[in-house]
Amino acid sequence: MGVSPDIAGREYPPAPVYEVGREKIAEFATAIGSADAAHFDPEAARALGHSDVVAPPTFAVIAAQRSDAQLIRDPDAGIDYSRVVHGEERFVHHRPIVAGDRLVATTHVDSLRVAGGHSMITTRVELATESGEAVSTVLSTIVVRGGE
């Protein structure tokens, strides 16, 4: 079947709320090798002006990928996940993510380009608080490898 060209321009409904917890931030910081006290200690984070522990900048990918999963699982998209490789990821942060945030993620399929039999899909996930405050924009490109 292949990737459907009709997915370009599609917007998916907001994903379920992602609750940002201190433990999740600490686990992520540990996984990426960050020893910054602001990721682990609320007092260290408050000394820097944050309301609670602050997430590393790439933490936004967790909520973004949960939202992007709607596209991957959409049978009308025609994406064979076994053929997907990661192409690129960029972040535009509007403010830091902190423990206690309740993030809502909305996926937009910004473009689809086919080259050499491979489909390159660029998504934009807008992360906001439940009240609508912009938090981060995550831009991702995945490559769906063409047939053998």
- The total domain count for the chain is 1
Q: Sign of dihedral through CA atoms 50, 51, 55, 59?
A: negative
The answer as to whether 98 is a domain residue is yes
Q: 139: part of which helix (H) or strand (E)?
A: strand 134-144
State which residues of the chain have pLDDT below 50.
none
CA 130 to chain centre: 16
Provide the pLDDT for residue 1. Answer: 61
Of the chain, the percentage scoring pLDDT greater than 90 comes to 95
Per the structure, the complete domain to which residue 10 belongs is given by 5-20+55-144
R_g (Cα) of the chain, nearest Å = 17
Query: Would you say residue 28 lies in a domain?
Result: no
Give the pairing type, strands 18-19 and 134-144: unpaired
pLDDT at 103: 98
pLDDT digits (tens, 9 = 90+) for 66-83: 999 999 999 999 999 999
DSSP helix/strand/coil, 147: coil
Residue 62: count other Cβ atoms within 10 Å of its Cβ: 18
pTM comes to: 0.93
Q: Identify the pLDDT of residue 73.
A: 95
CATH of the domain at 62: 3.10.129.10
